[in-house]
Amino acid sequence: MISTVVCLLIGYPAAYILAKRSRARRGQSNFWLFLFIMPMWMNALLRTYAWLALLEPMGIVNTFLGYLGIGPFQFIYNDFGIGLGMVYNYLPFMVLPIHSVLVKISPSLIEAAEDLGADSTRTFLRVTFPLSLPGILSGINMVFMPAMTTFLIPDLLGGGRYLLIGNAIERQFMVSRDMTTGSALSILLMIFVLASMRILTKYEQESSEGGLLA
């Protein structure tokens, strides 16, 4: 949940800037978007191991901070490490749907708001943000579901000390060999995921029908 909120807080401004550039210079923004997606072509496990190398107590970041006379800090094997890993892995899933919605907003709507005397903040709050709500909801959907079911990132960056539902299921199957409990937990998780999807789809329909705009 926290990683979804952080993804939204970091991803929305990034998507907004990319969309603005896309409207100003059509070809160049596609390049920036391409740069945004490119790290995701690499395997998630490899990238998570790279974060381990960066953030471990004798890692690259702590060595660099040591030269400056700061630290060492404990970046991994705690909540911060897990949050960072999740935000890193799922950030593009938040940015892409928001960007695709923001790009489609007609510039004439923003011009009309400005003509009617709205400043840039008011235009954003009353026009751009409500129109981008379907993208935000899709982004939340795309980040929240995998973030809830992940077990690899908490295992590596949390040092196996954090038990998320994904880890609990993995341990039931791989360690305890208790497939019955593992299956029961999986079904519970599936019900929770489906319920979350249903709620989000309902809000998405409402916002596309103008329910949230009114």
Partner 1 sequence: MIARLGKNIYMILIFLFLYAPVAVLIVFPLIKPVPGRSGVDLPP
24 binds partner 1 (CB under 8 A): no
Query: Closer to partner 1 at the Cβ: 20 or 202?
Result: 20
Q: Which of 53, 174, 179, 187 binds partner 1 (CB under 8 A)?
A: 53
Query: Closer to partner 1 at the Cβ: 61 or 197?
Result: 61
Q: What does the alpha-carbon distance between residue 40 and residue 11 come to, in Å, rounded to a whole number?
A: 15
65 binds partner 1 (CB under 8 A): no
103 binds partner 1 (CB under 8 A): no
60 binds partner 1 (CB under 8 A): yes
Cα dist from 25 to 19, 31, 47, 98, 183, whole Å:
10, 11, 32, 18, 51
199-202 long-range contacts, Cβ below 8 Å, gap at least 24? 200/137, 200/140, 200/141
Residue 39 C-beta: closest distance to partner 1, Å? 5
Burial 1-31 (b: 16+ CB within 10 A, else e): eebbebbbeebbebbbebbebbeeeeeebee
Residue 155 C-beta: closest distance to partner 1, Å? 17
Site for partner 1 in 152-171 (CB under 8 A): none
Q: Which of 2, 50, 188, 191 binds partner 1 (CB under 8 A)?
A: 50
Q: What does the alpha-carbon distance between residue 153 and residue 49 come to, in Å, rounded to a whole number?
A: 10
- Which residues of this protein are in contact with partner 1, per CB under 8 A? 10, 13-14, 17, 32, 35-36, 39, 42, 46-48, 50-51, 53-54, 60, 88, 91
